[in-house]
């Protein structure tokens, strides 16, 4: 059994590569996230953390280097295989929840499961169980507009974990919330991660939250180091 959910080896990325104005964002980045581990990614604005998360989550490709998810080398795979891997093994959470407004909280969590071929009844049970973990089971029948910002983000976490991925990637998931709500939402995220046993790489500017994770990585000048 592989004990590493994410491994990045020698990742490089430049925009407008080969042109006089090329900007190198990542310079031979190496990183790994162990199974069940929660790692904070801290970086100054514009340092490339979103680029790194997109490469780790197969939304972008590196110029060089290798990406492994759940023990599988996904470097150079076809778009179709990357899409299936992303659907089944990776969950994303962003600063803004991006929930579908015409569907209820529960339905927002059911939909990605249906896309993966899960039976509707089983998908509903999974959605209800996840909402119970984050403490908003009673709000499952509400549409996003009827939920608070913190509740919406907790639904987004549940949606990201709907298909039981090996890896959760989050980009400033509490950055749009006030401090008290941010703390509540982060606690819900940590409970989800611990109870489902997945791994997480979470980009954040909040050093207090970063300190509550298992370890911290700093991205600066295109390279990673322990924070």
Burial category of 106 from C-beta neighbours within 10 Å (exposed 0-12, middle 13-18, buried 19 and up): buried
The phi and psi torsions of 59 (rounded to 5 degrees) equal -90, -15
Per-residue pLDDT tens for 205-224?
Answer: 888 889 999 999 999 888 88
Task: Look at the alpha carbons of 199, 203, 204, 207 in this order and tell me if their dihedral is positive or negative.
Answer: positive
Specify the pLDDT at position 205.
84
Q: What is the mean pLDDT of residues 16-20?
A: 67
Per-residue pLDDT tens for 130-144? 999 888 999 999 999
pLDDT band at 19 (very low <50, low <70, confident <90, very high): low
- Residue 198 is predicted with a pLDDT of 85
Express each pLDDT in 147-206 by its tens digit: 998 899 889 989 999 998 989 999 888 777 778 878 887 887 788 778 877 899 999 888
User: E strand or H helix at 183, and its extent?
Assistant: helix 179-196
User: Could you tell me which residue, 99 or 17, shows the higher pLDDT?
Assistant: 99
Question: What percentage of the chain reaches a pLDDT higher than 90?
Answer: 48
Domain locations in the chain as residue ranges: 37-47+77-221
CA dist 114 and 112 (Å) reads 5
By DSSP bridging, strand 215-220 and strand 223-226 are antiparallel
| CA 126 from centre of chain | 19
> What pLDDT is attached to residue 1?
44
Q: Which residue has the tokens 């962003």?
A: 94
- If pLDDT is split at 50, 70 and 90, which confidence band does 2 have? low
What's the pLDDT at 17? 62
Average pLDDT over residues 2-22: 83
Q: Does domain 37-47+77-221 have CATH number 3.10.290.10?
A: no
Tell me: the pLDDT tens digits for 70-100? 888 988 888 889 888 888 889 888 877 789 9
| Per-residue pLDDT tens over the stretch 55-68 | 999 999 999 999 99
């Amino acid at each position: 059994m592989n004990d590493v959910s994410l491994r990045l080896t020698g990742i490089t990325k430049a925009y407008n590569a080969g042109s006089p104005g090329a900007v190198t964002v990542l310079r031979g980045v190496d990183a790994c996230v162990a199974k069940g581990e929660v790692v904070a990614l801290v970086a100054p604005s514009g340092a490339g953390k979103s680029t790194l998360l997109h490469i780790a989550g197969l939304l972008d490709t590196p110029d060089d280097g290798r990406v492994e998810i759940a023990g599988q080398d996904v470097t150079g795979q076809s778009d179709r295989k990357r899409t299936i891997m992303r659907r089944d093994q990776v969950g994303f959470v962003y600063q803004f929840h991006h929930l579908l407004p015409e569907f209820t909280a529960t339905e927002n969590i059911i939909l990605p499961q249906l896309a993966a071929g899960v039976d509707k009844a089983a998908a509903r049970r999974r959605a209800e169980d996840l909402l119970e973990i984050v403490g908003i089971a009673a709000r499952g029948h509400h549409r996003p507009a009827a939920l608070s910002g913190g509740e919406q983000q907790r639904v987004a976490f549940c949606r990201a974990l709907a298909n039981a991925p090996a890896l959760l990637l989050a980009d400033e998931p509490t950055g749009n919330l006030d401090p008290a709500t941010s703390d509540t939402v982060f606690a819900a995220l940590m409970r989800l991660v611990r109870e489902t046993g997945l791994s997480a790489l979470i980009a954040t500017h909040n050093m207090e939250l970063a300190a509550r994770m298992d370890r911290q990585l700093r991205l600066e000048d295109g390279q990673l180091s322990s924070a």
